[in-house]
Copies of this chain bind each other. A is one copy, B any other.
Amino acid sequence: MPHGHASEALTKNQALVMGALSEATGPLSAYTILDQLRDDGLRAPLQVYRALDKLVEFGLVHRLESLNAFVACRQPGCDSHERTAFMICDDCGSVIEITDKALARRLKSLAQDASFALKKSTIELRGLCAACTPM
């Protein structure tokens, strides 16, 4: 199996959760995932949360803090997973995932100015996507 994270050998539960997120068009909550996977043998929240923890760790899934939900990573390279920004449409729920070097630089610089050892950035922009913006 080629390159990096994306080819981790996932366990059964991890694969099930990853599958649910990959097929979804938008973010899913852990409990929504659980409901979708009951027929596949998942019975308890913890089974989903454990899988999600690993998938986030592998860089395959992002957690959206402002939604308490999760999305599959859509980035090609999937690097800079810790500096990804999201635009979340309050109307249709769609999520745009972006990584921007200038933004990352600015955050890094701000952290340095404050002597803050930056580990992870949560950047979630709320508003209306192009399709949902009235003309």
A: number of interface residues (CB 8 Å): 33
How many Å from the CB of A132 to the closest CB on chain B? 8
Instruction: Judge whether A128 is part of the interface by a CB distance below 8 angstroms.
Output: yes
Residues of A whose CB lies within 8 Å of any CB of B are: 65-66, 85, 87, 89-90, 96, 98, 100, 102-103, 106-107, 110-111, 114-130, 133
Q: Which residues of B contact A114 (CB under 8 A)?
A: 87, 96, 98, 129-130
How many chain copies?
2
Q: Which residues of B contact A120 (CB under 8 A)?
A: 125-127
Closest 7 CB pairs of A and B: A115-B130, A119-B127, A117-B128, A122-B124, A65-B65, A118-B127, A65-B66
Q: Which residues of B contact A98 (CB under 8 A)?
A: 110, 114
Q: Which residues of B contact A65 (CB under 8 A)?
A: 65-66, 122, 124
Q: Which residues of B contact A102 (CB under 8 A)?
A: 106
